[in-house]
């Protein structure tokens, strides 16, 4: 268990560019979950962050966030997270996973995000957004719909696009993007990044995981192209690297930029953890700062050995092999489990999702369980102190 420490605004920060090796310490103790971390010009009060979680709740099907998003994301910030990363937010209308997904392709969406980011910031958390394009996995019914698969055009759906005309199992066949259209996607990510900054987001994550468009380009199982965006690993990574460079140029040098990878397709002949480490190193050179390491999502029907922390080893592999900063995800459900991941040097931050849905105040409870005093418990809640379970 981490020794009792008090985190205050004056606590020294750790710059991740100099802390990528195992055995990082603060004084005579290892780094812990509640030690701050700095990425470029942005300080995060702790290393326990909210992973992006799709809500499928843009009610008018126009990509505009609603009061649901304000309350949902605001509660997570109030609960003590170091960063709150909003769900996969599409850079084009055709890039939405479902017709009810959020977007940042117009100024109405930008303006609707501003009160949300302002509230997150007011609670001491860093507001982040995951910019995405779903590619061949777009235009689908949301998970709780009675219907599944692709939404037809006459019901609000659209023609999907992908690196190649290879369908995801159970979905309609996409149209392969032309080389010129691929270049247009780089511009769409760049413009969405500018809107993200103007909307008040202080962190951007690029979604190159879970079988969505950037992942589709990376994996040879979905990318059968013969132009400069297909074939070799360098070519398959070209779009992602162009997006990273374009976004970095747009947001400037002091702005944190993350990339989420699926470290393996869990399928023979697919994308794997060594490919991920290689491309993470290239992405770092292109301007990315930290890599959020998940797995899977590209192909259906694969066997995945799911268990507590089952994806942490991939974050550790990428961190070690590429010498980059990583975030760990995947069935991380307890305070000691999360703290050990950071203290042992397996990852630099921990991103959680379902546990935050169960308890938006999980960080405050986790700190109590670990014996860590925090100075950011909401004053309005101090009559009900957070205690270990």
Instruction: Indicate the DSSP class of residue 25.
Output: E
- What was the pLDDT predicted at 302? 96
Say which residues have a Cβ less than 8 Å from residue 14's Cβ, sequence separation at least 6: 24, 26, 31, 35, 36, 37, 38
Q: How many residues does the chain have?
A: 389
pLDDT score of 2? 33
Domains within the chain, CATH numbers bracketed = 6-381 (3.20.20.70)
DSSP string, 171-217: SPPPEEPPHHHHHHHHHHHHHHHHHHHHTT--EEEEEE-TTSHHHHH
pTM: 0.92
Distances (CA, A) of 50 to 33, 60, 84, 132, 207: 13, 26, 5, 17, 15
Alpha helices in 12-81 (DSSP H): 67-78
Q: What is the pLDDT of residue 3?
A: 32
Cα dihedral 297/162/57/206 (nearest 10): 70
| Residues 113 and 201: beta-carbon distance below 8 Å | yes
Pure H helices in the chain: 67-78, 107-122, 179-198, 213-218, 233-236, 238-251, 273-286, 312-322, 335-343, 354-358, 362-370
- Per-block average pLDDT, block size 10, for the chain (389 residues)? 33 35 58 96 97 94 96 98 98 98 98 98 98 98 96 96 97 98 97 98 98 98 98 98 98 98 97 98 98 98 95 98 98 96 97 97 96 93 83
pLDDT value for 59: 83
State the pairing for strand pair 25-26/29-30.
Answer: antiparallel
> Which pLDDT does position 385 carry in this prediction?
85
How much is the pLDDT for 156?
A: 94
Q: State the residue for tokens 């380009």.
A: 217
- 127's CB contacts (< 8 A; 6+ apart) are 73, 77, 83, 84, 86, 116, 117, 120, 121, 200, 201, 202, 203
Catalytic residues: 212
Question: 90: which 2 tokens?
Answer: 């599409």
Q: Rounding to the nearest 10 degrees, give the CA dihedral for residues 204, 194, 288, 345.
A: -20
Confirm if 110 and 153 have CB atoms less than 8 A apart.
no
Measured CA to CA, the distance from residue 51 to residue 128 in angstroms comes to 10
């Amino acid at each position: 268990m981490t020794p009792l420490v008090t985190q205050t605004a004056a606590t020294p920060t750790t710059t991740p560019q100099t802390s990528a090796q195992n055995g990082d310490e603060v004084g005579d103790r290892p780094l812990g979950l509640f030690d701050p971390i700095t990425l470029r010009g942005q300080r995060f009060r702790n290393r326990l962050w909210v992973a992006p979680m799709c809500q499928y709740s843009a009610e008018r099907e126009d990509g505009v966030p609603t009061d649901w998003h304000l309350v949902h994301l605001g509660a997570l910030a109030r609960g003590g997270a170091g960063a709150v990363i909003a769900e996969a937010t599409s850079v084009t209308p055709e890039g939405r996973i479902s017709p009810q997904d959020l977007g940042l392709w117009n100024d109405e969406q930008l303006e609707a995000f501003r009160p949300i980011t302002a509230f997150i910031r007011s609670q001491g958390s860093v507001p982040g957004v995951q910019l995405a394009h779903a590619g061949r996995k777009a235009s689908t019914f949301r998970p709780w719909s009675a219907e599944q698969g692709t939404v037809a055009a006459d019901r609000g759906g659209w023609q999907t696009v992908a690196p190649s005309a290879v369908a995801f199992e159970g979905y309609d066949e996409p149209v392969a993007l032309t080389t010129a259209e691929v270049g247009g996607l780089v511009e769409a990510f760049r413009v969405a990044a500018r809107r993200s900054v103007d909307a008040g987001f202080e962190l951007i994550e690029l979604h190159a995981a879970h079988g969505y468009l950037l992942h589709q380009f990376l994996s040879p199982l979905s990318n059968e192209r013969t132009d400069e965006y297909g074939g070799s690993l360098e070519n398959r990574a070209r779009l992602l690297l162009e997006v990273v460079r374009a976004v970095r140029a747009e947001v400037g040098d002091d702005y944190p930029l993350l990339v989420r990878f699926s470290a393996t397709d869990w399928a023979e002949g697919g994308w794997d953890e060594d490919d991920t480490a290689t491309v993470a190193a290239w992405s770092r050179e292109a301007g990315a700062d930290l890599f959020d390491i998940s797995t899977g999502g590209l192909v259906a029907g694969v066997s995945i050995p799911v268990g507590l922390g089952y994806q942490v080893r991939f974050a550790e592999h990428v961190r070690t092999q590429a010498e980059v900063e990583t975030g760990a995800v995947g069935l991380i459900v307890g305070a000691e489990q999360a703290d050990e991941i950071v203290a042992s040097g397996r990852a630099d931050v921990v991103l959680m999702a379902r546990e935050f849905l169960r308890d938006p105040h999980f960080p405050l409870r986790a700190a109590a369980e670990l014996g860590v005093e925090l100075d950011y418990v909401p004053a309005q809640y101090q009559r009900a102190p957070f205690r270990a379970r």
